[in-house]
């Protein structure tokens, strides 16, 4: 299935990895008995039904039915192909995979892996430039003046891009990357007359943007002077999608989990400074407004989010635009209001940690913050202004579907606008055209209908090689009728024959089929508490044999009818003999009773 990576190597990589370690790099998991539990990243849910088992080295969601091993998780979560998922785990655990020259081609390794390689090399170049060139030293001085020093350079891999037109393009070319790949990485821009390309980032401090898994997916470049644009970012590429990543997430994620809170800021420098002052659960939205995708990334780690945006109009609008997403994801959002003219970087540098903490403690609920902003500028003591303000607020509250939250905001409005509670509720109802009913978000579920006898047999066989061997001593994989289950049965049979260690994870690797992985993990997680496993095995085998014999008997009856119609005496005799033998067998095994 994987082509160039030998099966043994794949199993070695899987066995070396720890599924809990890998998955908890993406979502918050809490211990639950001998397993771990968390909110499923593959469907919307409010109560966790996503289970990870260290013992089985598998995951399974009881809500949507998805499951599998470490590779299946990465394939689903990161949208990777099977070989890409295997390579990603190998890289993480430092396992070398010897690739031949041909294997290094895009067809095998995948374009993504090549682009990660280009970015990582470019970042090394930028870091070296910052430290070792005279131009870089000026940038270093600039950063040091803002208090950004060695520790931050290391944590955030900060670098510098020279003012030359093509220093990076030339460097990457010397390292063997084609112009096409360099262009595709977004690090270079093609000249208008198509005669070659030049560096996108020039004379800028470089902040690499990391994916949550630690790969560099893009870059942000900041000017040293006041020329515009102040910031430029990588364009969208195969690995960098705007609105899908967060700056600083890869280093902030552990603290976000332990603090159960995430602080969102606007700029790269804000985040670097916040970490330097100990607010290591801070990250930046890379663009002004947080998208629903980014909010979901955060929701996988914590339910609490604090916005610290600049106190200007752009900052206020960014919070407004994130509002619906915050409600949709069910995050608890708060907003910190900075003194005018300040950003987190300037505030921290001038006031320090304690004042910043006090600021965070004074944060306001996002809904209340938005209500405040909406009624700003109205003279609430006059009737006409008050009704205009109310209309504006009602518009904002239309997104609130949770009745409890709505009640909270209504209370807040009562105190703010001085309108009577009854009137306010009437206004809300009228605004929602009365017909709205508050339905909690439906949790999606998926059920697969399968033959229970065959399911039980597969479940039993997955428990051990001995059971599987015993089953196949009596029936064959051909006896399975459900195509998906037959596929699994065939692989179990192969696994017994191969004399290798019997391991359901290995079967998953070989098949590398999403549906199969969902099923196998479901079987293992739901594996019945077999009261008497011996009896269960022999019952299932008997049932299968009986089903097969009855089917054969029916076939013979059909053929008999056909032969009778044709008057084919020879065939009739043969069929009658077969029928008699089968009938005797069924009688002797008592299969015909009941
Ligand atoms: Zn799920």
Using DSSP's 3-state secondary structure scheme, residue 159 falls into: strand
**Looking at the predicted structure, is the pLDDT value of residue 439 above 80?**
no
Residue 436's pLDDT band, with cuts at 50, 70 and 90, is very low
Token reading at 285: 């939205």
Q: Residue 435 has what pLDDT?
A: 47
Q: Supply the pLDDT for residue 21.
A: 95
Sign of CA dihedral 229, 233, 236, 237: positive
pLDDT at 158: 96
Q: What is the pLDDT of residue 444?
A: 43
C-alpha 46 – ligand 1 centre gap (Å): 11
Angle among Cα 136, 138, 139 to the nearest 5 degrees reads 65
Distance from Cα 93 to the centre of ligand 1, integer Å:
27
Report how far ligand 1's centroid is from the alpha carbon of 300 (Å).
12
**Between 550 and 13, whose confidence is greater?**
13
Whether the Cβ atoms of residue 164 and residue 202 lie closer than 8 Å to each other: yes
How are the residues of the chain apportioned to helix, strand and coil, as percentages rounded to the nearest 5?
55, 10, 35
Q: What is the CA(515)–ligand 1 centre distance, in A?
A: 14
CA of 66 to the centre of ligand 1 (A): 6
Which one, of 41, 48, 448, 397, lies nearest residue 212 by Cα?
41
C-alpha distance across the termini of the chain, in Å = 45
Q: For residue 452, give both structure tokens.
A: 């229970």
ipTM of the prediction: 0.98
| Most confident by average pLDDT, 22-31, 43-52, 108-117, 547-556 | 22-31
d(CA 428, CA 393): 10
For ligand 1, the distance from its centroid to the CA atom of residue 149, given in whole angstroms, is 43
The alpha carbon of 468 and the centre of ligand 1 are apart by a number of angstroms equal to 30
Domains of the chain by start residue, with CATH: 110-241 (3.90.980.10), 452-588 (1.10.860.10)
Share of the chain above pLDDT 70, in %: 93
Q: Compute CA distances 107 → 6, 83, 110, 182, 196, whole Å.
A: 17, 10, 6, 18, 25
Q: How far is the CA of 48 from the centre of ligand 1 (A)?
A: 9
Question: Higher model confidence: residue 246 or residue 456?
Answer: 246
CA of 447 from ligand 1 middle (Å) equals 12
Q: Could you tell me the distance, in angstroms and rounded to a whole number, from the CA of residue 57 to the centre of ligand 1? A: 17
Question: Which of residues 283 and 381 earns the better pLDDT score?
Answer: 283
The CA-based diameter of the chain, rounded to the nearest angstrom, is 106
Give the sheet arrangement for strand 58-61, strand by strand. Answer: 30-32, 35-38, 50-53, 58-61, 67-68
Which range scores top for mean pLDDT: 97-101, 102-106, 217-221, 572-576? 217-221
pLDDT digits (tens, 9 = 90+) for 59-109: 999 888 899 999 999 999 988 888 889 989 999 999 988 765 555 555 556
- Cα(446) to ligand 1 centroid in Å equals 9
pLDDT score of 587 more than 80: no
What is the CA(302)–ligand 1 centre distance, in A? 17
> Coil, strand, or helix at residue 61?
strand
- Cα(215) to ligand 1 centroid in Å equals 26
565 alpha carbon – ligand 1 mean position (Å): 56
CA 168 to each of CA 121, 190, 199, 208, 414: distance values in angstroms, whole numbers, following the listed order: 10, 14, 6, 15, 60
CA of 445 to the centre of ligand 1 (A): 8
Find the 228 Cα to ligand 1 centroid distance in Å. Answer: 45
Residue 449 has pLDDT above 60, yes or no: no
pLDDT tens digit sequence for 390-431: 888 888 888 887 778 888 888 888 888 887 878 788 877 777
Torsion of CA 199, 201, 202, 204, to 10 degrees: -160
158 CA → ligand 1 middle, Å:
38
Q: What is the pLDDT, as a whole number, of residue 446?
A: 44
| CA 41 to ligand 1 centroid distance, Å | 6
* 307 CA → ligand 1 middle, Å: 28
Overall average pLDDT of the 176-204 stretch: 93
Contact 261, 305 (CB under 8 A): yes
Q: 387-390: list long-range contacts, CB under 8 Å, 24+ apart.
A: 389/417, 390/417, 390/419, 390/427
Q: How much of the chain exceeds pLDDT 90, in percent?
A: 47
How many alpha carbons lie under 13 Å from residue 320 in its C-beta half-sphere?
A: 15
Distance from Cα 36 to the centre of ligand 1, integer Å: 14
Helix (H) or strand (E) holding 348: helix 344-351
Tokens 């209001």 identify what position? Answer: 337
Average predicted confidence (pLDDT) for the chain: 87
**Per-residue model confidence as pLDDT tens digits over 141-181:** 999 988 898 889 999 999 999 999 999 999 999 999 999 99
Contact 197, 190 (CB under 8 A): yes
Q: How far is the CA of 441 from the centre of ligand 1 (A)?
A: 15
43 Cα: distance to centroid of ligand 1 (angstroms): 5
Which of 48-57, 220-229, 555-564 reaches the highest mean pLDDT?
Answer: 48-57
Q: Which residue has the tokens 């192909």?
A: 81
- Please give the structure tokens belonging to residue 582: 């089968």
CA of 575 to the centre of ligand 1 (A): 53
Q: Is the pLDDT of residue 442 over 50?
A: no
Give CA separation, 73 vs 23, 182, 485, 518, in Å. 8, 30, 21, 10
Q: Average pLDDT of 197-202? A: 95
């Amino acid at each position: 299935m994987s082509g160039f990576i030998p099966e043994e190597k794949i199993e070695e990589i899987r066995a070396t990895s720890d599924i809990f370690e890998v998955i908890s790099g993406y979502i918050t998991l809490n211990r639950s008995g001998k397993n771990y539990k968390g909110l499923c990243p593959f469907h919307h849910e409010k109560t966790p039904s996503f289970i990870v088992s260290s013992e089985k080295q598998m995951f399974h969601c009881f809500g949507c039915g998805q499951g599998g091993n470490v590779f299946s998780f990465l394939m689903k979560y990161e949208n990777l192909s099977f070989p890409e998922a295997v390579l990603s785990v190998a890289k993480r655990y430092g396992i070398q995979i010897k690739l031949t020259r041909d294997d290094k081609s895009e067809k095998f390794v995948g374009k993504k892996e090549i682009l990660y390689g280009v970015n990582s090399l470019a970042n090394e170049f930028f870091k070296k430039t910052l430290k070792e060139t005279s131009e870089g030293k000026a940038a270093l001085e600039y950063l040091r003046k803002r208090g950004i020093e060695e520790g931050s350079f290391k944590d955030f891999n900060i670098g510098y891009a020279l003012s030359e037109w093509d220093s990076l393009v030339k460097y990457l070319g010397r390292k063997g990357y084609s112009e096409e790949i360099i262009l595709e990485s977004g690090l270079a821009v093609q000249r208008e007359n198509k005669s070659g390309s030049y560096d996108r980032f020039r004379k800028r401090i470089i902040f690499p943007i990391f994916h949550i898994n630690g790969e560099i997916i893009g870059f942000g470049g900041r000017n040293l002077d006041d020329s515009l644009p102040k910031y430029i970012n990588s364009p969208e590429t195969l690995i960098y999608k705007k609105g899908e990543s967060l700056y600083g997430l890869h280093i902030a994620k552990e603290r976000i989990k332990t603090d159960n809170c995430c602080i969102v800021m606007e700029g790269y420098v804000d985040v670097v400074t916040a970490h330097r002052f100990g607010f290591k659960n801070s990250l930046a939205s890379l663009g002004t407004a947080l998208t629903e995708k980014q909010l979901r990334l955060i929701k996988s780690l914590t339910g609490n989010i604090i916005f610290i945006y600049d106190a200007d109009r752009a900052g206020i609008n960014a919070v407004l635009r994130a509002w619906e997403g915050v409600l949709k994801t069910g995050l608890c959002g708060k907003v910190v209001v900075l003194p005018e003219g300040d950003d987190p970087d300037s505030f921290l540098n001038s006031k320090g940690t304690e004042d910043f903490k006090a600021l965070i403690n004074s944060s306001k609920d996002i809904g209340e913050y938005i209500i405040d902003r909406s009624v700003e500028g109205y003279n609430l003591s006059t009737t006409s202004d008050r009704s205009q303000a109310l209309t504006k607020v009602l518009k904002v509250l239309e997104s609130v579907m949770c009745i409890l939250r709505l009640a909270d905001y209504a209370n807040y409005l009562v105190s703010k606008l001085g309108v009577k509670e009854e009137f306010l509720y009437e206004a809300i109802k009228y605004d929602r055209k009365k017909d709205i009913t508050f339905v909690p978000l439906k949790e999606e579920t998926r059920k697969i209908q399968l033959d229970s006898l065959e399911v039980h047999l597969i479940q039993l066989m997955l428990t051990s090689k001995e059971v599987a061997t015993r089953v196949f001593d009596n029936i064959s994989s051909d006896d399975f009728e459900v195509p998906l289950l037959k596929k699994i049965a065939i692989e179990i049979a192969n696994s017994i024959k191969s004399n290798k260690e019997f391991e359901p994870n290995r079967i998953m690797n070989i098949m590398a089929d999403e549906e199969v992985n969902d099923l196998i993990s479901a079987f293992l997680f739901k594996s019945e508490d077999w009261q008497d496993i011996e009896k269960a095995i022999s019952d299932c085998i008997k049932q299968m044999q009986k089903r097969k014999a009855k089917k054969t008997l029916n076939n013979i009856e059909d053929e008999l009818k056909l032969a009778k119609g044709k008057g084919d005496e020879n065939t009739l005799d043969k069929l009658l003999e077969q029928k008699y033998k089968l009938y005797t067998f069924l009688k002797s095994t008592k299969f015909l009773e009941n």
